[in-house]
Structure 1
């Protein structure tokens, strides 16, 4: 990024929107995390790991791919996986194709925990987000977040229905 000579300050409307994003997203994720921990003993980060693994072939992903998919640092993911491994939810193993890589596999106990947590989590997502905004706002939110995720290299497509068949098999995240 080139050096700035003159700051491009946010106008009053942009500042209000930016601050609303910060407050709203922090509150939403705090509430969702609280609900998940209360209902299932899983943190939102742990739940998201289990969701990604449940969608992967053989319920296994390389740790580096999992970190990229979740937009987590490798060290943060390693800490989360270590805790989940001690709880019997996942197992780590050396990647057969590249001995330097590490795979993470969801255990049967991890899948059972995800299945038990998912209905409560989906209800929490509905209560705290989906049912509080209009369907049009929800679609627009998805489009906006897809634009932001593209910059993060997520590879996710916009929520326009193109991947609806693939998503229909997934447990809601």
Structure 2
């Protein structure tokens, strides 16, 4: 059973990690950094898009009309609006996406995947999936993979809740 996250105040004593928690935390950090680096390197070697650009195209491909509002895209990617704006500008210059004013709300901006963006996504997908399998899915047991996904979903939910409160 999980409990609601507790926010420490400035007067609370730190709840230090015990030796096992510290070992697991460091293993998580090391594994996460090395995994992202390995998959990113695969993208550089085998794809026309970076890992971040690939994920952006995936989000657009899963949206109606392959279009998302820029703010929703940034939120879904867990990236700052500024960072997503810079990424989209680079991708727009390469003809992978295009921006336009949101219909009915002139303050909003939509990002849509172009047919070239879709072509690049489809061409990049096999190498991406192979890398994810090689560095994670096939390394873990099905139980470990399920536990990892469930654990990270809980972490993501706690972080989102903290950001909106």
TM-score by length of 2: 0.90
Superposed CA offset, 1:96-123 (max 9, x none): 1210000000000000000000011001
Distance in 2, Cα, partners of 1:93 & 1:75: 17
The answer (yes or no) to whether the contact 1:53–1:61 under 8 Å persists in 2 is: yes
The answer (yes or no) to whether the contact 1:39–1:117 under 8 Å persists in 2 is: yes
For residues 56-135 of structure 1, the aligned pairs below 5 Å read 56-135=63-142
Distance in 1, Cα, partners of 2:19 & 2:158: 25
Q: How many residues align?
A: 154
Question: Is there any run of 5+ residues in structure 1 with no aligned partner, and where?
Answer: 155-173
Deviation at 1:37, TM superposition (A): 1.5
The answer (yes or no) to whether the contact 1:89–1:110 under 8 Å persists in 2 is: yes
Distance in 2, Cα, partners of 1:153 & 1:59: 25
What residue in structure 1 maps to residue 43 of structure 2? 36
Structure 1 position 145 matched with structure 2 position 152:
yes
What residue in structure 2 maps to residue 16 of structure 1? 23
Provide runs of 4+ in structure 1 moved above 6 Å. Answer: none
Question: Is there any run of 5+ residues in structure 2 with no aligned partner, and where?
Answer: 1-6
Distance in 1, Cα, partners of 2:146 & 2:22: 23
Distance in 2, Cα, partners of 1:4 & 1:42: 47
Distance in 2, Cα, partners of 1:4 & 1:31: 41
TM-score by length of 1: 0.86
The answer (yes or no) to whether the contact 1:52–1:66 under 8 Å persists in 2 is: yes
Report SS of the residue matched to 2:103. Answer: coil
The answer (yes or no) to whether the contact 1:71–1:152 under 8 Å persists in 2 is: no
1:136 to 143, 156, 163: 143
Distance in 2, Cα, partners of 1:65 & 1:152: 17
The answer (yes or no) to whether the contact 1:59–1:106 under 8 Å persists in 2 is: yes
Distance in 2, Cα, partners of 1:128 & 1:5: 40
Deviation at 1:152, TM superposition (A): 3.5
The answer (yes or no) to whether the contact 2:57–2:117 under 8 Å persists in 1 is: yes
